[in-house]
Amino acid sequence: MTISKNFERPDLKNLRQLVRQGEGQQLEFKLKSNHPDKIMKEVVAFANSEGGKLLIGVADDKELIGLKYPDEDEYIISKSIEKYIFPEVEYSLEKVRLDNEKEVLIYDIFASEKKPHCLDLKGIPDERKIFVRSADKSIQASKEVKEILKGRKKDKGYKFAYGEKERTLMQYLDRHQEVTVSKFAEIAEIPKKTASRTMVLLVLAGVLRVNPNEIEDTFSMV
């Protein structure tokens, strides 16, 4: 679903205020749309996370460059979203005209209820990739994050048995701010697969929070 709006110079002030925040959990800058594959990664990550704004026509150093032919960029991006992302994502589009008469496209990607969304650049279902947002980066989802996204989609009440391994985990988190699956497996002396399943369940039950990371996710108390 696309909602198109056109804004003239009165909204340029709001755009400048937004850009001054810099890239972060819910804000990403792209100069142009000549690499739609990279842009689609950001779209998927926002939809799989808390949503976010994608600004096209803004440099990484926060300079407002604008697009000379914004309709062409809009067409490329809309077609790429339609072709490469499954299931479809919902977003709105705003256009802001700059002093140089060029335009910046502002895509507001909504946090989705259809997670997980996948990026399929090759047309091969088995090679589809899932991305999530972590600070100012869009990273590939770990096995645990994928399971959490799928589990949340089922929208059912999750319960867990409080046994020895859960007790060990809670005691560790009383002394440390976060823990990884590998560390949990080590301190509880359980297989990593069991540690993974346990932590996914604890996230779904609302006990833990997952913090996606490029190297290894961390988990902390809610």
Query: What are the structural domain ranges in the chain?
Result: 4-140, 143-221
- Whole-number pLDDT of residue 158: 87
Strands (E), 21-122: 27-30, 52-56, 85-86, 91-97, 103-109, 118-119
pLDDT tens string, the chain, 222 residues long: the values are 555 555 444 489 999 999 999 999 999 999 999 889 999 999 999 999 999 999 999 999 999 999 999 999 999 999 999 999 999 999 999 999 999 999 999 999 999 999 999 999 998 989 999 999 999 999 999 999 999 999 988 867 888 889 999 999 999 999 999 999 999 999 999 999 999 999 999 999 999 999 999 999 999 999
- Whole-number pLDDT of residue 159: 86
- In this structure, is the dihedral angle defined by the CA atoms of residues 144, 131, 153 and 213, taken in order, positive or negative? positive
Nearest to 163 by CA among 204, 202, 203: 202
Secondary structure (3-state) at 101: coil
Give the position of tokens 């509880």.
188
Q: What is the CATH T-level fold of the domain 143-221, as seen in this structure?
A: Arc Repressor Mutant, subunit A (1.10.10)
Give CATH for domain 4-140.
Answer: 3.30.950.30
Q: How many CB atoms lie within 10 A of CB 136?
A: 13
Give the position of tokens 């895509």.
107
- Whole-number pLDDT of residue 101: 95
**Residue 142 corresponds to which tokens in the numbers above?**
């770990």
How remote is the C-alpha of 47 from its chain's centroid?
6
**Residue 26 corresponds to which tokens in the numbers above?**
């819910």
